[in-house]
Chains A and B, each alone.
Chain A
Amino acid sequence: MKFVDEFRDADTAHALAAKIAALCEPGRQYKLMEVCGGHTHTIYKHGLEDYLPESVTLVHGPGCPVCVIPMGRVDDAMALASEPDVIMTSFGDMMRVPGSNGSFFDAKAAGTDIRMVYSPLDSLKIARNNPDKRVVFMAIGFETTAPSTAMTIMRAAQENLQNFSVFCNHVTIIPAIKAILDSPDLRLDGFIGPGHVSTVIGCRPYEFVARDYGKPVVTAGFEPLDILQSIYMLLLQLSEGRSEVENQYSRVVPWDGNPTALKVIGETMQLRPYFEWRGLGFISHSALSVREKYAQFDAELLFHVPGVRVADPKACQCGEVLKGVLKPWECKVFGTACTPETPIGTCMVSPEGACAAYYNYGRMNRHRVKEAVTIQVGRP
């Protein structure tokens, strides 16, 4: 068993699609939010919407940790990168995010030492190999990635590395979900719950959604059949009048999460009193910073970080896209002024951004194409 191909089978998809359609009450519209950017990506990459009836709409949520970083914070990162003798290391996702004066990518072209890494441990390696430089790791991500940053900080402490620090921009998912639920702009029927965040925090944290707001949540895997099955489970709950938290991704997500991962986060990081999210404004206790015990690895203490609040460009509607109020193509500048080559906002430039997913994969008239594909390929 490879745990991948089995969950991409087209024939099973047709069957699930039929069952989903059968569960839809005639005349009723269903709006389901997939919180996680990785799910948005899968949905578009595999053309999943082709399997859904017209009455089911998927709304893209704010679960893209790059997308929610406000411009001012990007500027802070650029300022760090420009400090003398600094090697800035970052995941590829951050490279094209526009700050007030260009992106990491532009800065790199102009001579700043910015390097793409696949793992925070790679940054440690760079630090060891470059003792005369100061290596900064741009830490981004939800609770999925925070444990890895935490382990890296602890390893750096073990080795007593003198030239390594973290610019911590980890955010937490629950406050974002709550902000969506409290937003008057949206009326959602249910949530396709985050997959990999849940391997760390488990499924319990979502219980308040079902209990206090009466909306079902199903934590979903990332293969297309996982998402289809989760949609099926949500509609089943709705048709039976239930609102519970269910775990479709049980092969990977333990109900209680990963205690070790939570422990190392707790050891090295603490919640910030508040943090600004692009589009959602200031949310309390929604982001992490490095604990005092590990202060020597906190880039915000070691360097001067401008910390200036910068408003999004006037044209940018990322905030509304992140909240699910606008579909990507409804943004005024989508695809014309704002493209992956010339991004104005983060949603177009992060691999998990809804705009990027739609632009790169979904930008077509679904009805016409579906007909054309059926004729060409000869099967439904």
Chain B
Amino acid sequence: MTANRPGGPTGVDEAEDTTGPAQVGWVEQALREHDERHDHDGHGAVPDREQQVLDRIDRARRRRPKVREERITMSHGAGGKSTHTLIEAIFLDAFRNPLLEPLEDAASLAIGTAQIALTTDSYVVSPLFFPGGDIGELAINGTVNDLAVSGARPLYLSAGFILEEGFPVADLTRIAGSMRDAAAAAGVQIVTGDTKVVQRGKADGCYINTAGVGVLDRGAALGVAYAQPGDAIIVSGPIGDHGVTIMLARGELDIEADVQSDTAPLNGLIAGLLDAVPGVRAMRDATRGGVATILNEIAKAADVGVLVSEDDIPVRPEVRGAAELLGIDPMYVACEGRLLAVVPGDQADQALAALHTHPLGTHASVIGHVTSDSPGLVHLKTAFGGTRIVDLLVGDPLPRIC
């Protein structure tokens, strides 16, 4: 079943005890395992013991994901650990097929002689209108970007609307106008759609789903699983703008700042990059979960280590300030118009040169490298000079940002 997943089903049956608190069953399991291990450890200097614990944790993390909650929580929508667990344990498990397995931003399909990319995204951002854009613009750019980072030329989008009873028609007109303008800027057409209306209180104004198709005419084999030690990791500009903008736009925090969403279509920027650097291994747009999530996806998919340097990650001072005030880390904050690219180390300079010529890539920089050390883990060299790891977050401090 999951033969290609390291670790796979370990034969350990995580019998869920549903009578008491859900944890009981696997707690006892872990204790048993610890005791077994303890019998085999004898002596060993302290660092060795710590390494044994780290190894044990690594094995536990590679186990088949399982959703332990009975109900969906906001964490499941955060783009972090819980989301990944949900997708793998429920959706991938139910729909399993080789085309879905890579879990990239878009699926790559062969139809006749053409190679097509297909993607979909739903937009539930609150508030609907914010500095730098609105839900309509997000809905177009987000889907265009998922196609573009997969190496496809975005062509056609569908747009499905779920509207709340009582939603102002003027707002809907405004959103449609934004979508028209965004589509024109990205060079795509909205060719089909759907509209539903639900009762007052059930859709927070407006939810939008867009699906998109593009053509993969470059023949590039892209995917985070292709990352290799020595590769450079590049970000196209300062991170965290969108998430912080949304957080402040909600008005609950009484914070004012000059930030705006970075929502933008990346297909032009990406075309320029692929023209200059055919060896690009993978691209992602840093949305929910931020840059940190993508770095972890690279480490896990390619079973490599990732090392980034805090000094090299561009963050606007206002974004940093707001993040400090709220106690959140910009690395986990969503962007909506930033590209993360993995390129062979010796092509990094060419890649940067190509990105710098485009208005959306003027601040592109190398933030780190892929390594062979500690596969599956992301390490950060802090501005202070020390090192720490960067893990997936469980929950999300910023719900409903895209």
Which residues of chain A have a CB within 8 Å of any CB of chain B? 4, 8-10, 13-14, 44-51, 92, 95-96, 100-102, 105-106, 108-110, 118, 122, 224-225, 313-315, 327, 329-330, 332-337, 339-342, 344, 351, 359-370, 372-373, 376-377
Contacts and interface: CB of A to CB of B under 8 A. Distances in A.
Contact of A369 (B21, B34, B69, B379): B379
B199 interface: no
Given A332-B30, A335-B53, A369-B379, A51 B389 contact: no
Question: Which label, helix, strand, loop or mixed, suits the secondary structure of the B interface?
Answer: mixed
A337 B26 contact: yes
Interface of B: 21, 23, 26-31, 33-34, 47, 49-51, 53-54, 56-57, 60, 68-69, 71-75, 81-82, 85, 252-253, 305, 307, 309, 324, 326-327, 369, 371, 373-374, 377, 379, 381-389, 391, 393-395, 397
A10 B384 contact: yes
B75 A105 contact: yes
B54 A377 contact: no
B114 to A, nearest CB: 41
Given A109-B73, A336-B30, 16 more contacts: A10-B383, A105-B75, A110-B71, A224-B382, A313-B21, A314-B27, A335-B54, A335-B60, A336-B56, A336-B57, A336-B60, A337-B29, A344-B27, A361-B389, A362-B388, A372-B373
Contact of B389 (A48, A225, A363): A363
Contacts of B75: 105
B47 to A, nearest CB: 7
29 contacts: A10-B384, A44-B388, A45-B382, A45-B388, A46-B386, A47-B386, A49-B386, A92-B397, A95-B395, A101-B21, A106-B71, A109-B74, A118-B253, A224-B382, A315-B27, A315-B30, A334-B57, A335-B54, A337-B26, A337-B29, A341-B85, A361-B388, A362-B388, A363-B54, A365-B47, A365-B51, A366-B387, A373-B307, A373-B387
B31 A332 contact: yes
A364 B54 contact: yes
B300 to A, nearest CB: 15
A48 B69 contact: no
Contact of B384 (A8, A315, A351): A8
A106 B69 contact: yes
Contacts, number: 165
Nearest to B388: A361
B382 A106 contact: no
Contact of A329 (B54, B381, B383): B54
B307 A376 contact: yes
B73 A51 contact: no
A69 B324 CA distance: 26
Nearest to B252: A122
A51 B373 contact: no
A108 B75 CA distance: 12
Contacts of B26: 337, 342
